Structure 1
Amino acid sequence: MEFFGDEVDQMRWFAVADQRSLSGPAVHHPSELHAPPCREILITPSVMSRAARLKAEMPAAADMLEKIAGGIAVEGMESLAPVLVDAMVPFVDQLPAGSIGVVIEPEKVRTRAHDLAATNEEFLEAAWSTASNGGTAPLDLDSVLGSQAASALHAASFQSLTDTRSAALAHGVSWWSITSLATDEDLVLDIDVLNLHAREPRGYQGDVAEMLEFIGSHVRDQWRIVVATDGPGPAQRLAELFHDADIPCSRVDSLAHEPQAGIIEVTTAAVGRGFVLDGLKLGLLTEADLLGRSSAGSTKDMRRMPSKRRNAVDPLQLHAGDFVVHEQHGIGKFVELIQRKVVGSSAGSSGGDAGLREYLVLEYAASKRGAPGDRLFVPTDQLDQVTRYVGGDTPSLSKMGGADWASTKSKARKAVKEIAGELIRLYSARMASRGHAFAPDTPWQRELEEAFPYVETPDQLTTINEVKADMEREIPMDRLVSGDVGYGKTEIAVRAAFKAVQDGKQVAVLVPTTLLAQQHYETFTERFSGFPLRVKPLSRFQGAKEAKETMEGVRNGSVDVVIGTHRLLSKDFEFKDLGLVIVDEEQRFGVEHKEALKKMRTNVDVLAMSATPIPRTLEMSLTGIRETSTLATPPEERHPVLTYVGPFTNKQTSAAIRRELMREGQVFFVHNRVSSIERIAAQIRELVPEARVEVAHGQMSESRLEKIIVDFWEKRFDVLVCTTIIETGLDISNANTLIVDGADKYGLSQLHQLRGRVGRGRERAYAYFLYPSEKPLGEVALERLKAVAAHNELGAGMQLAMKDLEIRGAGNLLGGEQSGHIQGVGFDLYIRLVGEAVAEYRGEAEEKAADMKIELPVNAHLPHDYVPGERLRLEAYRKLAAAITNEAIDEVLAELVDRYGEPPLPAKNLIAVARFRVGAREAGLSDVALQGNFIRFSPAQLPESKVMRLNRMYPGSQIKPALDAVLLPKPKTARIGGRDLQDAEILEWANTVIEAIFAASPATQTAG
């Protein structure tokens, strides 16, 4: 929003990814904006005084109430609204008389209201306990408030649907309920019932000819049909499609009248699904109904996301003490961002800001023993040479000018070339071989997909379409699908497998653990029920006889899909006609298994899946060699897992287990030592006698382990005390509390994977990461636990992808043996080397732009009051440093204007310096700097004609062959008594020098 004084001048949508305003014909900027309060409860003086009074009555919540009394907002305080706020009224009282209230599926609304009330209570308990000092376990509401007050609070929080309806009718608001359940008119006396025999339209999944035939026949039969799309672009395209098919059609901006018979009316509206009323010959159809897709993905907010992450540069989120990598000098430590004058610049007539620039201060290892570390001042126009260090353990600082860094970088570059060569060889072999081109989707495929009980996320739909497109090509597919735990990778595998079997091919699903094999077997069997497909598992859980039968079935073709562990890769395992291999958690397989997979990749389709996020930088550098898809959107109705970190106490553990048992849920208790796991289980049985407790770990026999897991699945016991055997893939939707004992001993990715085992249904889930209370927590473990507690929102995997996750993600694609080189040079520089090596092998290597040093007395920086915050300034500086063409500089300038407004003079000077850098680089220069009373231009090897021109135009100039430089006297406004040129003046003078002395002559350019 842009203001002119206190008036809103302009409002526009912007993309979160790159912070740029969205533009184009499909983007309609808002003319009005609804801005609700940031919180449901406003801290007014009366709320503060009431909180102060309640402190004495609620001692367990005193800490929270004290903050509210002091005017500080606290998470979860909204749940206290009924006791903090006077005269709360039903929401229908806020509606103007004559309004229409519509309740869609009242039965669902009642269920959802019940769930919401329960979740509200859980939130309140959790928030109170976090806000108070008495530990981090959720509190029992009755013990805090007393049972009477707790009941009153519950009653005041939510009004029943019946009461809401009565209040609405009394207030003059008409009330409609829409339900898909049949209603007996004779039994419902006080309401009018209107039965509509509506049905969902059949989907055409992209079959345009069939869709047009259906629409055309209904229009000829005098149906009234309205087609709603998400935006004007799709509406126009559909209207043209109907016109081309000679179907009467009208494009309308809005429906101000009843639809007309015998003509289609195409408009724009946010409609989820359409309907058809056969009796009334009336149909409302959406773009998704007709074409099998929606232009906006699936949610209306998708229009605010850019189609590509244009100019997306990861900002340098640097704090003092963070390690960074300078391409020339190696690993250093970030100290601060400071402003200083260019050496030799004078204040002149424009005051003390002449020659003011911002520099990054980096500290390196001391050149002399016992001395403080050496410091490097990096000008902000060289920020493209600096990246944040990500590499696992704490690195040692490089020595400036030392040979160690050059050697480390050289080794990494050599290793990278080898890995890039291997990737290219595999890619070339795949491109040269001819696989099986699968046929387009069959009606059965559509039937399977429509039976999916959940709403697909936009990312899921995109990925499914990408996988199908790959399968329908002759070239063997090699795609990696990366997505956070529980984001729907299995459904993509199910649909791909079904498509392969429809074409008469067999499918192998390869998983790292026997438990995961069993889990996938259950899922695939359930999804394929009703279709003539044969799915068989093959792991340690199957006996010798069953395994032999499965292998024979795979060999003779009677088994369509086999799901198993590395046994599927053994040489004696034969398929009749293998068409697709699906690999889950590929990074968990050993070197030999990966080699076997590599051989497979050249002639069958391979779909790999990973819950470890693949960093986008790596994804981009491998574009075209290995296709990748990322699932970043959480499924609907998924809540973030409420995460607690603290010392282990018996009271907390028993409270957490009891609270889960009260809502008939189940608990994972992770203890990763087999030697003491039975003792821990006995302790839990003693703490919570009513809980049924069992133990599971990897040293058990296969049959015993399988029985325990199946029993847990079937809710025959409540608490599973287990090792990290549950870390990968296990999906038990009724288990919504996770307690991890000794959490300080786990890696970040392990903690994240473990947390992914809960919160997979609609219930609110809890994760407790506990450490021994008797011994102090190590610094690294503390940071790790803080990170996992801070990133507890859905999709947090990408934020947690720092440190070990990023390195594991790289290992997924490149091989774990590369982690040493990643640690040596840092992740970002390593990825840049991979990109360069891949481009070189493909003959697309760009000539690296020469490093530029411009040190002139120009007041060129981003003022703090123009771009606030160090991180944002670093981001802008880095983008400008990376811009090596005038077009790229224009793009950065447009972004600055768009985000921060018209730039002030120092920022304009910064842009001018960037443009000067482009011109200097084109003239072959790499250094233009102030040197005493001269300006140095280097490198410079001038022909005789240019030397004569130099001496004539700039008397007093010096040519320094040893330095490969030319020195020109510092320019002044007048020869006698003039001041030094600065800012725009000196840049203009330097540009003139370059054009006159250093630019190639027209004759030379023509010859070239």
Structure 2
Amino acid sequence: MLSPLDPILPRNAGAPSYWSRLYGSSRGLAIARAADQHRGPLLVVTADARSARQLEGEIHFYAPPDAKLNVITFPDWECLPYDVLSPHLDIISQRLLTLSQLPAWERGIVLASVPTLMHRLPPLDYVAKHSFVLNIKDILDIDVFREQLVRTGYHAVSQVMQPGEFAVRGGLIDLFPMGSPTPFRIDLFDDEVESLREFNPESQRSGQKLNGIRLLPAREFPLTSDAIQFFRRQFRARFEGDPQKVALYRDVSRGAVPAGIEYYLPLFFSDTATFFDYLPTQNACIIDANALGAAHAFARETEERYLERRHDVSRPILAPHELFLMEQEFTESLEKQPRIHLLSFKADEAADTAAATDPVSTVAFDTRVPPRLPVDYKADAPYATLFDNLRTFQGRILLVAETLGRRETLRALLTDNGFTPEDVQGWADFLAGDMPLGLTISDIDKGLVLATPAVAVITEVQLYGERAAQRRRRVRSSARDPEAIIRNLAELRVGDPVVHEEHGVGRYLGLQIIDVGDGPTEFLTLEYAGGDKLYIPVVALHLISRYTGTDSEHTPLHRLGGDVWEKAKRRAQQKANDVAAELLEISAIRAARKGRACPPRDDGYLAFADVFPFEETVDQARTIDEVLADMESDKLMDRLVCGDVGFGKTEVAMRATFIAIQGQAQVALLVPTTLLAQQHFQNFCDRFADLPVRIELLSRFRSKAQQVDVLTGIANGTVDLVVGTHRLLQDDVSFKNLGLVILDEEHRFGVRQKERLKKLRCDVDVLALTATPIPRTLNMALSGLRDISMIATAPDERLSIKTLVCESNKALIREACLREIRRGGQIYYLHNEVRTIERATQQLQDLIPEAEVHMAHGQMPERQLERIMLDFYHQRFSILVCSTIIEAGIDIPTANTIIIERADKFGLAQLHQLRGRVGRSHHRAYAYLLIPPRTSMTDNARKRLEAIEALEDLGAGFTLAAHDLEIRGAGELLGEAQSGEIDEVGFALYSELLSRAVKSLEAGDELDQEQPIHTGTEINVHAPALLPDDYLPDVHMRLVLYKRIASAPNEMELRALREEIIDRFGLLPDAAKLLFTVTALRIEATPLGIRKIDAGPRGIRIEFYPNPNIDASAIIELFHSAPGIYKLDGPQRLRVLTATDDIDDRVATIRQVLKTLSVDLH
């Protein structure tokens, strides 16, 4: 028998060889070692994409570090044959990179699944012919370069975020090439490339300098005018009828890229290639078990889908043999390579027999099946099996943890039980050493046992089962940063309502450059009631906030000079004071009472945490730490955990429950609906199954006898955790030792229940969970009163939800449902009219007779509704026709398609919540928003749908939808009574009023309601201070940057912003420099209590607020420093008698005055 450390590859094509007895991850080891010895590239063929990803991880782990092996996966499109969807741009990018590198590869490993290899590809010379290199000092004509990029399939955008995009701004070009992990910034001096730098797409900040970059085409087909003409000729030759009636033909004719165009690839070329054509000579092939069976299954599926679709005249399709290798062609292509078949474990016995008769073609390896070493939490010694194995194994052992944190947990566990593991870099480091027990980090799933040398690898999956970790599907250059999304947010569109702090709600009409006598100045134009216009200089944008309240199309505007706004503001301030007082009162009572301190986390907790089947996200881990730290202290906890649906709030609740029960306290979990109670009950029972914990469910659907039994258990303390609806708040429920109350979606309880909860807050730890985004502004206003934890990071394995806005048609609905059913999933079909829902259900059943369809809506009897929802949860039928009752429904991981009828009637927030019902697993989820013809929709509805269609990224959807959910979030924290005031003054301003009220009450001061919120300084230096449109032509980008400049809280942030703008758009022109200078002066002058500085050619006038923050001695010092220059003009005005036309001199004088006046402040 051979060791996987010394495998042998066949040299020539011909009869295949077979490898058997490769157990655990030894196949990855054998492949890595074989590739190291092989002179050419090695193709590894797997049955599916998941196997390819798993094998890639094993090969990376076992590859010799000095071998410098290239290991890449040629990714699958993740679309069904003849799909109307296109692959994600990240996937296209990785595929093009692989195709560009393969022909020149000398050695390395490329992994690909069978369906991927059976797709036909562009001709061999396509990628090279449409790629080009750009170096420092190259001469570049911007117009020609732009045209070249568009021809190769790149998209012009205003801000580059993903592969295949570019942006031109003057002499700067931002470009994200396909196949590159980062975008690049090209800086031109005249027409010469002066610098090339990487940059971060989130922050837009530049990084490392480069000497040259290579640009690949943006698609697997060309879009030049010649290619489009060729496509049109081929299309007309293949398909009968009028091509102008086919939307796809019309789209390509005008240079657009319609979804699903990849399934028309042969029409762009006179001939296509296969993946095998791209492989250089000297290659060999390793074929995983089940690969040939997968080829047969894929060929059958392709043929079935072709037969279903071939008669659709609105989207004619090509025959399978034009797009894919047929099964026999695929097998023949494999047979032309020197090849090895890996035998499945079932075939090993047969292989042993074959090896005896044909020892040349079959090689058996000397490996053993890795043992399962399950952690048993019910046992007194949960890790006994592992420890026995460590003591009895006759050889050396390498333990593999999945992350740094888990490695440290494992180390502590081993050390506490008498073992001394040594840290190693990886497999090679361990093999080269002589330590008996090693510890390293990797994400491989399967262990390994070798006979010679006697070595074992033990992974976390062997300890905790298949659920030990989730894998990252795609490596992204950086996680989405919610703050960056908000910061770069396209916040304001023309026609949107905004709030001016002094004048009320007006409508934003855009930016306008006006010369008011001192050169051009840029103003924000607002329209008020009666058509009145207000022009706000861009330096004063800190007084403007986005209005979030009622529907933006129907927002009532205020009248300039009227008193309605002042009254509304006064009412809102009074309400804010009341809210602040109530919050402070509860806070004070809680602070005066001591809570119970739960015991600190021990091995039992660590073992419980280890069973969590997923890798914690950063936000989730931080939130868990915050909650447990609260519980371990002796202060009462009142914490709100806010995170999007499916982002891991329930696990936070489970960890808190474990700690509370461990501290001998009872836990109550309150939910708004019986369905949610049922699901939480099931989830908690599953998670605590191995622990001596009694969990019960209390809702009015349980029988009288059951309820009495549960109530008795609650009263005598034998029930540790009770899950229930508001039934738990009734008077007959009496806990023996209640220590923790967990509230799910608290805002959905009624007023009476909230009053009960308010009393509870003064006695026990309270943990509230919500999927409604709580905005940061409100979060800051309440800091210290109620603790808030945010989980804004999506779990690694969750793919973004593919959202399609399309006009309703039966073929599309049938296709969407069948795609989901075929992959074993379920579908929500949202029809929000109870009157006609029965008819809609019947129509859908007629359309898709192969599926079982049921309906659910809020007017059904509750027991019937519960039964239907539970049947859907247990996958007893495939399609649920429902109303918006599912908006806060139960979590169904297998439901990954939602179809929403008349999506134009929903708000953005509601669409986001509904869409969040799907995408709870690692499968790509689909949301179809069905609309009437676009011409019959309102502008607002059209805008909403465009916005949600664009929000594919998970965390991004959460953060962007926060704008429209702010009102809901405010009601959640403060109670619904405030919604009226928030509607009147807008959310952002209400938050500031509340923040001010909290601060003044805490300090014990009387609040001066006449005092404006922003006592900022208005500065006019009588010279242009703006971002000129020839420097930054994009009006919207200018607006966002003006807002950020005006809102900069200190000089440090202003300086960072200045650096960023220079980085992104080039050196600042004089007017932009002056804009930053004036803003810096305003930041310096505001704390002094200066209302206005007017610095003209004939002198400077400074006006103060009443009671400015200036010492009289500073004024005296000013007069002494330059007698005759300074003059007091009334109690609140100071004049500086220096006449100068030079702007720099005026600025220097203002700086000197501010420095002298602020001397005592510093």
Farther-moved stretch of structure 1 (86-95 vs 388-397):
86-95
Counterpart contact for 1:224–1:259, Cα < 8 Å? no
Within 5 A, what are the aligned runs for 1:522-533? Answer: 522-533=682-693
Question: Kindly, what percent of the aligned residue pairs are identical?
Answer: 34
Corresponding position of 1:976? none
Q: 2:954 aligns with which of 777, 789, 794?
A: 794
- Give unmatched runs, 5+ long, in structure 2: 1-183, 356-360, 378-382
- CA change 1:117–1:530 in 2 (3 A) is farther
Q: 2:1093 aligns with which of 901, 921, 928?
A: 928
- Aligned-residue offset at 1:568: 0.7
Q: 1:320 aligns with which of 494, 497, 502?
A: 494
Q: For residues 365-390 of structure 1, what are the alpha-carbon distances to aligned partners after superposition, in whole Å with 9 as ceiling and x for unaligned?
A: 35xxxxx4132232x22222211111
- Aligned-residue offset at 1:606: 2.4
State the distance in 1 between where 2:1098 and 2:290 align: 85
SS in 2 for 1:863: coil
Corresponding position of 2:98? none
Counterpart contact for 1:958–1:966, Cα < 8 Å? yes
Farther-moved stretch of structure 1 (356-365 vs 446-455):
446-455
The two structures have a TM-score, normalised by structure 1, of: 0.78
The code of the aligned residue for 2:1103 comes to S
Q: 1:186 aligns with which of 327, 338, 352?
A: 352
Does 2:374 align with 1:374?
A: no
State the distance in 2 between where 1:417 and 1:707 align: 47
- Aligned-residue offset at 1:566: 0.6
Does 2:1018 align with 1:858?
A: no
SS in 2 for 1:437: coil
- CA change 1:868–1:620 in 2 (3 A) is farther
Corresponding position of 2:228? 48
Corresponding position of 2:704? 544
- CA change 1:13–1:102 in 2 (3 A) is farther
Counterpart contact for 1:510–1:566, Cα < 8 Å? yes
Does 2:1044 align with 1:870?
A: no
Corresponding position of 1:916? 1081
- Aligned-residue offset at 1:278: 7.5
Farther-moved stretch of structure 1 (271-280 vs 859-868):
271-280
Counterpart contact for 2:739–2:765, Cα < 8 Å? yes
- CA change 1:304–1:678 in 2 (3 A) is closer
- Give unmatched runs, 5+ long, in structure 1: 23-27, 126-138, 346-354, 367-371, 972-979
SS in 2 for 1:262: coil
Counterpart contact for 1:667–1:718, Cα < 8 Å? yes
State the distance in 1 between where 2:520 and 2:965 align: 40
Within 5 A, what are the aligned runs for 1:887-898? Answer: 887-898=1052-1063
Counterpart contact for 1:508–1:578, Cα < 8 Å? yes
Does 2:501 align with 1:332?
A: no
Does 2:549 align with 1:383?
A: no
- Aligned-residue offset at 1:807: 1.0
Corresponding position of 1:601? 761
State the distance in 2 between where 1:684 and 1:360 align: 51
Does 2:725 align with 1:565?
A: yes
- CA change 1:65–1:838 in 2 (3 A) is same
- CA change 1:649–1:253 in 2 (3 A) is closer
- Aligned-residue offset at 1:575: 2.0
Farther-moved stretch of structure 1 (548-557 vs 460-469):
460-469
Counterpart contact for 1:356–1:859, Cα < 8 Å? yes
- Aligned-residue offset at 1:573: 0.7
The code of the aligned residue for 1:385 comes to L
Q: For residues 303-331 of structure 1, what are the alpha-carbon distances to aligned partners after superposition, in whole Å with 9 as ceiling and x for unaligned?
A: 84599959975657222222211222222
Counterpart contact for 1:83–1:153, Cα < 8 Å? no
> Number of residue pairs matched?
939
- Aligned-residue offset at 1:663: 5.6
The code of the aligned residue for 2:683 comes to T
Counterpart contact for 1:102–1:178, Cα < 8 Å? no
- CA change 1:109–1:612 in 2 (3 A) is farther
Counterpart contact for 1:612–1:797, Cα < 8 Å? no
- Aligned-residue offset at 1:357: 3.5
- Aligned-residue offset at 1:411: 1.8
- CA change 1:677–1:77 in 2 (3 A) is closer
Counterpart contact for 2:547–2:988, Cα < 8 Å? yes
Corresponding position of 2:252? 68
Counterpart contact for 1:168–1:175, Cα < 8 Å? no
Counterpart contact for 1:201–1:274, Cα < 8 Å? no
Does 2:638 align with 1:478?
A: yes
Corresponding position of 1:713? 873
The code of the aligned residue for 1:892 comes to L
Q: For residues 669-718 of structure 1, what are the alpha-carbon distances to aligned partners after superposition, in whole Å with 9 as ceiling and x for unaligned?
A: 43444444434444444555555443433444444333333333344444
SS in 2 for 1:48: helix
Farther-moved stretch of structure 1 (255-264 vs 409-418):
255-264
Provide the aligned C-alpha RMSD in A: 5.3
- CA change 1:114–1:701 in 2 (3 A) is same
The code of the aligned residue for 2:544 comes to V
Q: 1:577 aligns with which of 737, 741, 753?
A: 737
Q: For residues 138-172 of structure 1, what are the alpha-carbon distances to aligned partners after superposition, in whole Å with 9 as ceiling and x for unaligned?
A: x936646999944335634x989x958x8578557
The two structures have a TM-score, normalised by structure 2, of: 0.69
- Aligned-residue offset at 1:844: 11
Counterpart contact for 2:512–2:522, Cα < 8 Å? yes
Counterpart contact for 2:289–2:341, Cα < 8 Å? no
- Aligned-residue offset at 1:981: 1.8
Q: 1:140 aligns with which of 293, 299, 309?
A: 309
Counterpart contact for 1:392–1:803, Cα < 8 Å? no
Corresponding position of 1:420? 580
Counterpart contact for 2:775–2:962, Cα < 8 Å? no
The code of the aligned residue for 2:757 comes to L
The code of the aligned residue for 1:535 comes to I
Within 5 A, what are the aligned runs for 1:88-487? Answer: 88-91=272-275, 93-95=277-279, 140=309, 143=312, 149-152=318-321, 155-156=324-325, 163=330, 170=336, 183-184=348-349, 185-186=351-352, 190=361, 192-194=363-365, 195=367, 197-198=369-370, 223=396, 259-262=432-435, 277=449, 280=453, 304=478, 313=487, 317-341=491-515, 343-345=516-518, 355-366=519-530, 372-378=531-537, 380-393=538-551, 394-441=554-601, 445-487=605-647
Q: For residues 417-448 of structure 1, what are the alpha-carbon distances to aligned partners after superposition, in whole Å with 9 as ceiling and x for unaligned?
A: 22223233333433443333333456555555
The code of the aligned residue for 2:545 comes to T
SS in 2 for 1:558: coil
The code of the aligned residue for 2:1135 comes to V
Q: 2:676 aligns with which of 480, 492, 516?
A: 516
- Aligned-residue offset at 1:811: 1.5
- Aligned-residue offset at 1:458: 4.1
SS in 1 for 2:732: coil
Counterpart contact for 1:649–1:773, Cα < 8 Å? no
State the distance in 1 between where 2:249 and 2:899 align: 29
Q: For residues 930-964 of structure 1, what are the alpha-carbon distances to aligned partners after superposition, in whole Å with 9 as ceiling and x for unaligned?
A: 4684432324999997797699554xx87532873
SS in 2 for 1:926: strand
Corresponding position of 1:617? 777
The code of the aligned residue for 1:589 comes to F
- Aligned-residue offset at 1:925: 3.7
SS in 1 for 2:539: helix
State the distance in 1 between where 2:456 and 2:439 align: 12
State the distance in 2 between where 1:36 and 1:270 align: 32
Corresponding position of 1:592? 752
Q: 1:756 aligns with which of 905, 908, 916?
A: 916
State the distance in 1 between where 2:803 and 2:859 align: 30
Counterpart contact for 1:335–1:362, Cα < 8 Å? yes
Corresponding position of 1:812? 972
- Aligned-residue offset at 1:512: 1.0
State the distance in 1 between where 2:448 and 2:375 align: 12
- CA change 1:776–1:360 in 2 (3 A) is closer
The code of the aligned residue for 1:48 comes to I
The code of the aligned residue for 2:1047 comes to A
- Aligned-residue offset at 1:533: 3.1
